Chain A
Amino acid sequence: MTYSHIPIATLITAFLVLAPIYEYIGYRKKDLRYDRLAKSMVFFVMILYSPGAALGTGIPMFIIGLWPEFWSRWSNLFFWPLIVQFALFIMDVICLFFFYYLLWDRWQTRKRLHIFFGVLTALFGLAIQAVWDSLGGYMTTPSVEFPMVNEPVGWSAAAFFNPSFFPLFFHRFFGNISYTMLLMGGVFALKYWRQKDEAEKAYFGFAADLTFTIGFLSFFAMPFVGWFFAKIMQQHAPVAFHALMGGHTAPHFIIKMGLVALMVLLGGGYLFSRHKAKTILAAMTVGVASLYIVLHMHPPLHWLPGGDFVWRAFYTVVLVAVIGCFWYFSRRSAPIRERWKWAMFIAGMAASFAFIMGGFVRERSRQPYNVYKQLVKVEVLPREADRFLMYDKCIGCHHRSLNDITRFTVEDWDRRIEIERMRPGANISEEEAERIIRYLKEYHP
């Protein structure tokens, strides 16, 4: 349910943020292409709105039935934010339907007023997203104790402004803009290719370049925000952080990074050869170089021959080589869009899947908890609970490389854990030690 709702909801939020901006640019430049682009985005939002909202209604229905305790405690803690979110939603739908969409043509002569309602709609949409990011952030980095239902709370500023709220919000904000615009650029590239009419072809060419460039550039805010987000997780939810960076969710995270790499290669290849303005080229170069941050902090590939050094040298060389290739492309003549259409489309799809995968790994990283270290999911398996315990007890010292465990075999675990228990600060009880050993023997023989 969530994965059907979120792509729709995020696409709507991103489109509603960008539509008034495009409209305003069109109004200032007296360029009707921007107006058409903005209107087509809002039309698409209108089509998606009802199904998206219907799916959104289904999520609480499923949760109430399947995780009743979580839902009741969660809605007890965040009752007022949920009610405010509902009020914002009503305002959003009124502004969108009655003022922004329905009056688009009638208010051609009152463009500023129309844009104002567009901005208002976008702000309501962002406020809704902020509420959900706060509530979702709490699940990974809970800043107060998860209250029982018979201790009515309704609102807690400490819980609402939990440590990961702002990084999550900004990470998702740029993620929304980036993946939707890249996808849109890819779709427009295909539409450009299929058009017979010259005027239409020119429009779709313009729209494809504009949206793809915006998507590509806004993507590069992600590594910066993501770095802070990861740091917050490292401090406040270390087990979840480890699960992402080297634990059970790392393979998915690597797939996500692979999709990002694909998007960067294809998108960068096209845009570096398309744009000739030095500013845009410089911005894109800084963006691609910033991926170094991600690669630098992501440690799960220590099994590469040579360990840290070889790995770091490898990605540094690759990154420099990629940037070099891009600059080589930028010196060549502008590409023919027809040839790049599938590359753009695949880049857009890769960005979309990377976005979805990002949400998946984030949620999966706190398994087996609904709320990190506070409420376990009802369907938790013993091995998941044991794995969490093992992470929790071991990453205090092995935080950089829990993959050290691959060095040991099933015969070693009893003795190894006994040794580790004796270390100062290990704080592992007899029962916990048994569980950890059981887990390691079974899954790391």
Chain B
Amino acid sequence: MNIEFPILGAKWAIGALALFHTSVASLAIGFALVVTVLEITGYRTRDRAYDYMANRIQLVHVCVYNIGTINAIGLVFALSGLFPQFWSQIFVQFYWSLIVEEFLFFLLATTLTFHYFFWDRVWGHKKLHIFLGALLTPLFFLQFYIINGVGGFMLTPGYGEAEASLRIGILGWDRMGFYNPSFLMLTLHRTLANFAYGGFGAAAICGIGLYFTGSDTRKRMYELGGRLAFMVGFASFLSLPVVGYFYAHVLQGHAHQAFVNLMWGHDDVVAGGVDWWWVKHVLVAGMLGMCFTYFRRISNEKMPFSIPAVMVYSIVLFYLVFYVAMGMVMTWFFFWAMVTCGVGGALLCHHLLSYHQGSPRAVFLVVGILSFLTVMLGGYAREAARPRFVDRIAHYDHVFVPEERQPYLMVPVDPAEIPPAPVRPELTGPQALIRMKCIGCHTLDRVKRYEPGNWRLIVEQMVAYGLKLTPEQRETIIAHLEAGEPY
């Protein structure tokens, strides 16, 4: 029995709140970096335009930050009411992590407030002011480092780490669960995505400013600020597929069902008959086309904050290589949709720049909106890929609640109701030997891909590559593999 959320349902209610929070929190993180870059540029070039833009963006940041904070409170309330067992379990394992995160939250709020509201009052201490602004980025980073530990755990609790932590009675700080397999990649991916989103978002604000201001001085400020922010966004955006590739690889190994759901379009990733993960990538193609044209144009016109065209071409190529390698199932429909959007984006960008006599206002705005949509869809797809909770009890792969942990939970769950963790028999003999020796260099998946008749040759090859085996071990392994026994 649980509290029901009308119309949306519990999962979607949490999803809506979480996505809303992501949209503002990610923007805040990106803004922090952009503001620092702008302020430092202004200080170094003695050009007030950058400082003005930094101030304007910081104002939006303050507003966005507060909305995000309130939203976080709403998320806590909603999780407490709708998923009490899950929420309580998270606190059993990560209480101290979340308390540290809260402390960072307070530091951030105070620093941000001081930085914006005392901008003019500490004018004579610009370096101190820049330092305070720059402090926001690492503070944000630390804060979402913690959130990623918890979020990553939900998707990839790891092979047995969570079980081990709970069995040995860890309460409040589950180190092994925190540093779960996808933690690092999730952190890297979100860091870059936030910087990209923040950069494009700040550029979009400048684009809006360019639409509404009549003053030439202001126009110059918005244009310079926008171009710098756009470049910061683009640089981060281009790194995403590289990290994304490795992130996908981790998912493939540690949350295989989620990986399949994402890449093959299964489960909740498809909603309303639409594969939203694909839609995200179609939009990404559109953004790539627009950015490509923008940087090619401004490079030709020798505008400020351009990237040499040859660099843009190479990076885009690099981007596509990782993209294709990530493991998405390409259908012709999807392929042509991406090509169409990429080319369409390029043509649209060309048109918008010409229509506004070279002013990037519309490009900034459109890319900002696309960036927002991709962040939303990315977050949605990642969460939707995780198999559904059963009766609101968090279980995925090996997350479970041993009986002795029950007193710490909010809900008196009957242990019989909790899906049992898969039994993992202790491996001995050849199986253990194969695992121990092979996974030093590659996963067991690779072993499965070899031709079954060539085991002696393959094992010899591995020894030639540097694998240390005694003659007895070698024979044991070969015999086991040739017999077709499981490993």
Contacts and interface: CB of A to CB of B under 8 A. Distances in A.
Interface of A: 43, 46-47, 49-51, 53-58, 60-62, 64-65, 68-69, 71-73, 75-76, 79, 82-83, 85-87, 89-90, 93-94, 97-98, 102, 148-154
A93 B67 CA distance: 7
Given A64-B87, A65-B95, A82 B67 contact: no
A150 B411 contact: yes
Contacts of B2: 152
Contact of A57 (B102, B113, B410): B102
Given A79-B80, A154-B3, 17 more contacts: A49-B113, A50-B66, A50-B69, A54-B108, A57-B102, A57-B105, A60-B73, A69-B410, A83-B81, A85-B77, A86-B71, A89-B70, A93-B70, A148-B412, A149-B410, A150-B1, A150-B412
Interface of B: 1-4, 59, 62-63, 65-67, 69-74, 76-78, 80-82, 84, 87-88, 91, 95, 98-99, 102-103, 105-106, 108-110, 112-113, 117, 172, 408-412
B76 A60 contact: yes
B77 A60 contact: yes
A42 to B, nearest CB: 12
Contact of B109 (A46, A50, A60, A153): A50
B410 A50 contact: no
A144 B172 CA distance: 33
A54 B76 contact: no
Chain A interface mostly helix, strand, loop or mixed? helix
Given A83-B74, A151-B1, A71 B80 contact: yes
Given A49-B66, A75-B81, A68 B88 contact: yes
A83 B172 contact: no
Contacts of A151: 1
Contacts of B91: 64-65, 68
B86 to A, nearest CB: 11
Contact of A58 (B106, B113, B172, B410): B106
A94 B110 CA distance: 20
Contacts of B66: 49-50, 53, 93, 97
A69 B72 CA distance: 21
A6 B81 CA distance: 24
30 contacts: A50-B112, A50-B113, A51-B113, A53-B70, A53-B109, A55-B106, A56-B73, A57-B69, A57-B72, A58-B102, A60-B77, A61-B102, A62-B99, A64-B80, A68-B408, A69-B410, A72-B84, A75-B77, A76-B3, A79-B82, A82-B81, A83-B77, A85-B77, A87-B74, A89-B70, A89-B74, A102-B59, A102-B63, A149-B410, A152-B3
A43 B82 CA distance: 37
Nearest to B95: A65
A154 B81 CA distance: 8
A152 B408 contact: no
A60 B59 CA distance: 28
B232 to A, nearest CB: 24
B73 A53 contact: yes
A86 B77 contact: yes
A85 B110 CA distance: 24
B98 A54 contact: no
A72 B4 CA distance: 15
Contacts of A60: 73, 76-77, 80
Contacts of B81: 75-76, 79, 82-83, 154
Contacts of A69: 410
A75 B77 CA distance: 7
A4 B387 CA distance: 40
Nearest to A79: B81
Contacts of A87: 74
Nearest to A43: B117
B73 A57 contact: yes
A97 B63 contact: yes
Contacts of A102: 59, 63
Contacts of A76: 3, 81, 84
B117 A149 contact: no
Contacts of B71: 86, 90
B309 to A, nearest CB: 41
Contacts of A153: 3
A152 B76 CA distance: 18
B105 A58 contact: yes
A193 B347 CA distance: 67
B67 A94 contact: yes
Nearest to A74: B80
A404 to B, nearest CB: 41
B113 to A, nearest CB: 5
B99 A65 contact: yes
Nearest to A97: B63
B109 A61 contact: no
A155 to B, nearest CB: 9
